[in-house]
Amino acid sequence: MTVHGIDVASYQSGDYSTSGLDFVFVKATEGSSYANPKHAAQVATARAHGLVVGHYHFARPGSMSAQADYFLAHAGAKAGDVLAFDWEDTGVPGADKDAWLRHVQAKAPEHRVVLYCNRDFWLHRDSTSFCADGLWIADPSAPEGHPRVEHPWLFHQYSSAGGLDRNVGNFAGPGTLRTWAGRGAAPHYEPFPGAGWFTVGRRSPIVAAMHERLVAVGCNHYTSTANKDVIGSGDVASYEAWQRKYNTDHHKGWTGSALKWPPGRETWDALHVPNV
């Protein structure tokens, strides 16, 4: 397993480190009256770094349909996002857990829906083994990727050290996770056109899409948005900033020409330029 992630709530920063991460679950709502004030910023950080996004609802006793509708209204989920039910309150029975999951599956059939709970809830409070599209199990006493449950699982929350919940996904790699989250649909990103394609003065909608992604990942070295579909000095400076950022975040140890223009396949694929 090579897929790692974290889950965050309002007590984490909106601009957290995404180094080494493939996915992030962000708390969206709790009960039927609380919405995480940092949800939008925390989701934006994940999207800017090309991570798979999950939104979760912390359940409280009460109407499950009302809580599900409140969650869906505030999550603002996009295609490929995962939706999760956080079952920790002892006042929420297993039947209500099932009701929420089924309600969200019916209302948002385009999304994967998963159950989050700890090992005690799964083994001693659950009676149906229903977890919609998969189980996200919290078992910090178990080694990473080896939760102490017999049921198949998708995500394992294995540590809360330092106040940050860390998770591992039971997927072969980031691409497998993204395909699963998108219900089998392959992500539509521009394939690497080859280093020789990146010549100053080239005009293409791909260049404009690259411009937007470089700005989104925090590597904006542009002085103007005019003619953003034409490769210019701003593209060169911004892409080199992205290569330096990628190098640092992924501990590549690149130096010299490896950090210079033109783009290479690895950093291009990681930039996730949308297909145009």
Are the beta carbons of 168 and 154 closer than 8 angstroms? Answer: no
3-state secondary structure the chain: CCEEEEEECCCCCCCCCCCCCCEEEEEEEECCCEECCCHHHHHHHHHHCCCEEEEEEECCCCCHHHHHHHHHHHHCCCCCCEEEEEECCCCCCHHHHHHHHHHHHHHCCCCEEEEEEEHHHHHHHCCCCCCECCEEEECCCCCCCCCCCCCCCCEEEEECHHHCEEEEECCCCHHHHHHHHCCCCCCCECCCCCHHHCCCCCECHHHHHHHHHHHHCCCCCCCCCCCCCECCHHHHHHHHHHHHHHHHHCCCCCCHHHHCCCCCHHHHHHHCCECC
Same domain? For 85 and 128 the reply is: yes
Q: Is residue 120 part of a domain?
A: yes
Q: Is the pLDDT of residue 185 over 70?
A: no
Same domain? For 236 and 173 the reply is: no
Q: Is the pLDDT of residue 144 over 80?
A: yes
State the residue range of the domain holding 221.
195-271
Q: Is the pLDDT of residue 209 over 80?
A: yes
Q: Is residue 164 part of a domain?
A: yes
Q: Is residue 151 part of a domain?
A: yes
Same domain? For 256 and 199 the reply is: yes
Same domain? For 43 and 139 the reply is: yes
Rounded percentage of the chain residues whose pLDDT exceeds 90: 84
Same domain? For 162 and 202 the reply is: no
Q: Please report which confidence band the pLDDT of residue 45 belongs to, taking 50, 70 and 90 as the band edges.
A: very high
Same domain? For 166 and 202 the reply is: no
Same domain? For 121 and 244 the reply is: no
Q: Is residue 35 part of a domain?
A: yes
Same domain? For 170 and 219 the reply is: no
Of the candidates 130, 155, 181, which is a domain's last residue? 181
Residues 97-126 have pLDDT tens digits of: 999 999 999 999 999 999 999 999 999 999
**Which pLDDT score, from 0 to 100, does residue 183 have?**
83
**Which pLDDT score, from 0 to 100, does residue 276 have?**
75
Same domain? For 205 and 177 the reply is: no
Q: Is residue 189 part of a domain?
A: no
**Which pLDDT score, from 0 to 100, does residue 188 have?**
65
Q: Is residue 190 part of a domain?
A: no
What is the number of domains present in the chain? 2
Same domain? For 50 and 154 the reply is: yes
- pTM of this prediction exceeds 0.75: no
Q: Is the pLDDT of residue 262 over 60?
A: yes
Q: Backbone dihedral region of 145: left (phi > 0), alpha (psi from -120 to 50 degrees) or beta?
A: left
Same domain? For 94 and 219 the reply is: no
Whole-number average pLDDT of the chain = 94
Q: Is residue 63 part of a domain?
A: yes
Of the candidates 181, 203, 237, which is a domain's last residue? 181
Q: Is the pLDDT of residue 275 over 80?
A: no
Q: Is residue 241 part of a domain?
A: yes
Same domain? For 172 and 79 the reply is: yes
CATH of the domain at 135: 3.20.20.80
